[in-house]
Amino acid sequence: MSNFSVKLPDSLYKSLQELAKQDGISIDQFVATAVAEKIAALTTEIYLGELAKRGSREKYDAVLAKIPDILIRNFSSLRDMAFTLS
């Protein structure tokens, strides 16, 4: 494990204390989790961006062209759909 010091505005630190207490975890655990979540979000964004670069509009259009043009009923809930299907 590594240690580092962070300067936070008092209001942010107070929120950090309150949220960690609500979650029943230490401030260290809260910060470590927050950093892990941010890293996951950014690396996912980078991964999806790289994946998108490999995409092809032509291939996308070809896949969509295989879907039949039919009217699909808009169900407001799964319950509506279940009654309709039975």
pLDDT digits (tens, 9 = 90+) for 24-76: 999 999 999 999 999 999 999 999 999 989 999 999 899 989 988 776 666 66
In whole angstroms, give the CA distance from residue 30 to residue 40.
Answer: 15
Measured distance between the N- and C-terminal CA atoms of the chain, rounded to whole angstroms? 58
Q: How many CA atoms lie within 13 A of 14 on its CB side?
A: 3
Instruction: Give residue 79's pLDDT band: very low, low, confident or very high (50, 70, 90).
Output: low
What dihedral angle (degrees, nearest 10) is formed by the CA atoms of 13, 15, 20, 21? 110
